[in-house]
Amino acid sequence: MPALVTTPEEIERLLRAGHSDLAVHRATGAARSTVARHRKRLGLPGYRMNADSPSCRHGHPFPENRAFQANGWMYCLGCSRERSRRAPGYRAVEPDEMAIERAVAGDPPERLTPRERAAAVRKLSERGLSAEEIAEHVRCSPRNVYYLRSTFRRAA
């Protein structure tokens, strides 16, 4: 790694721009304790957010955007929404028509994507099969078929 030239001014500029200690450390190569010392000197608040913060560190207001994972960790709903929208190169997998046809014929491949399964269930229910019959064709549980049917009704 090439030696990084770090000036206190550069660290100050990055801290004032709202970067975390870790981000400044990575960008400048300065030790995290050094970065923390500069933050303290500048009187800038720490990077952490908690339930009492008025917003997340990216500015999404709390409590509208405050959410909790099942394990109790808090996260920002606004941030996670943006992340999922902006995820680079994200593309839903195109359903494989062959796999759907096989599932409809009662010989599904090892793995069906949720979309493929839904498409197969839709085709079979249009033919008037019962949920149990469809479940056997597609190799999923009847409950899954009931659920998927209810989503079709909602979409229609």
* Residue whose tokens read 């949920």: 131
Q: Considering beta carbons, is residue 40 or 58 the nearer one to Zn ion? A: 58
Task: Note whether 76 binds Zn ion by CB under 5 A.
Answer: yes
Q: Which listed range, 9-17, 74-82, 98-106, 132-140, lies at the site for Zn ion (CB under 5 A)?
A: 74-82
Position among 16, 32, 40, 58 found at the interface with Zn ion (CB under 5 A)? 58
CB 130 within 8 A of CB 145: no
Q: Which listed range, 12-20, 32-40, 72-80, 98-106, lies at the site for Zn ion (CB under 5 A)?
A: 72-80
Residue 48: CB atoms within 10 Å: 8
Task: Note whether 56 binds Zn ion by CB under 5 A.
Answer: yes
Distance of alpha carbon 25 from alpha carbon 10, whole angstroms:
11
Q: Considering beta carbons, is residue 74 or 129 the nearer one to Zn ion? A: 74
Position among 19, 21, 35, 78 found at the interface with Zn ion (CB under 5 A)? 78
DSSP-based three-state secondary structure for 92: coil
Distance of alpha carbon 41 from alpha carbon 113, whole angstroms:
54
Task: Note whether 60 binds Zn ion by CB under 5 A.
Answer: yes
Q: Considering beta carbons, is residue 36 or 67 the nearer one to Zn ion? A: 67
| Whole-number Cα distances in Å, 48 to 30, 56, 61, 96 | 20, 9, 15, 45
Q: Which listed range, 18-26, 69-77, 96-104, 136-144, lies at the site for Zn ion (CB under 5 A)?
A: 69-77
Distance of alpha carbon 133 from alpha carbon 118, whole angstroms:
15
Contacting residues toward Zn ion, per CB under 5 A: 56, 58, 60, 76, 78-79
